[in-house]
Amino acid sequence: MILSDKAIKQYMSEGKLKISPLEDNQIQPASVDLKLGRHYLRLNENYFGTMTMTDEIEYAQIEADEIIIPSNSFLLATTMEYIKLPNNLTAFVEGRSSVGRMGLFIQNAGWVDPGFEGEITLELYNANRLPIKLEAGRRICQLVFAAMDDEAENPYCGKYQKQRKATGSRIFQDTENGRKDK
């Protein structure tokens, strides 16, 4: 069941769902708009090797109020908001339609597990032929919350728990690479 604005406000007033900072106008009929933060990661363009799923990936960090994402370019960004989901809610990250109509694709693997806590890292791709200027503090995506039939037996406690700022891929820490964490 997708949560309505009324249910979202109730979860928040009861302290079960936390989103901070949050302004009233960010709560939509069936979602919460999230704003673009100031921290970005760009793949290290001076690296000429091949990315693998077993080696740590190098990123260049950028802190800025504005950034331009060139045509056909990829960038990691963060939300301003820190969220904390209870063990019986999951969330989907969706790009705002107005942003998508500019040719900016927004993803975060699309899913936030119950029990997750942290800022959301967004994967941004400019599919347009023109550069796009991004500004911190602008609404960029939305979270759609769904109530689960029961609390998760094993809520999220993986390698991105309590992340702050844009966080690069930690796939090299996967169990397939001999790691014991999720």
Q: What is the CATH number of the domain that holds 100?
A: 2.70.40.10
% the chain with pLDDT above 90: 81
Predicted pLDDT of residue 180: 59
Query: What's the pLDDT band for 157 if we cut at 50, 70, 90?
Result: very high
Specify if 179 maps to a domain. Answer: no
Answer for the pair 120, 83: CB distance below 8 angstroms, yes or no: yes
Sign of CA dihedral 137, 147, 95, 59: positive
DSSP secondary structure code for residue 58 in this structure = P
**Which residue is catalytic, options 14, 123, 135, 153?**
123
Q: Is residue 175 part of a domain?
A: no
* 3-state SS, residue 175: helix
Q: Is residue 138 part of a domain?
A: yes
Instruction: Please say if the pLDDT value at position 171 is more than 90.
Output: no
86 neighbors 128 (Cβ within 8 angstroms)? no
In a domain, 65, yes or no: yes
Task: Judge whether 114 lies within some domain.
Answer: yes
User: Is residue 41 situated within a structural domain?
Assistant: yes
- Higher per-residue pLDDT: 93 or 177: 93
- Domain membership of residue 148 as a residue range: 5-45+57-168
pLDDT for residue 179 is more than 80 = no
Classify 77 in phi/psi space as left (phi over 0), alpha (psi -120 to 50) or beta.
Answer: beta
Element (H, E) at 7: helix 5-13
Q: What is the mean pLDDT of residues 162-178?
A: 89
177 occurs within a structural domain = no
For 62-114, the pLDDT digits (tens) are 999 999 999 999 999 999 999 999 999 999 999 998 999 999 999 766 789 99
Domain contains 14: yes
- Return the pLDDT at 51: 84
Q: How many domains does the chain have?
A: 1
Query: pLDDT digits over 112-130, tens only?
Result: 999 999 999 999 999 999 9
Known active-site residue 56: no
* pTM to 2 decimal places: 0.91
What confidence category does residue 48 fall into, taking pLDDT thresholds of 50, 70 and 90? low
From CA 132, how far away is CA 70, in angstroms rounded? Answer: 6
Q: Are 136 and 165 in contact (CB under 8 A)?
A: no
Average pLDDT value for the chain: 93
pLDDT at 175: 81
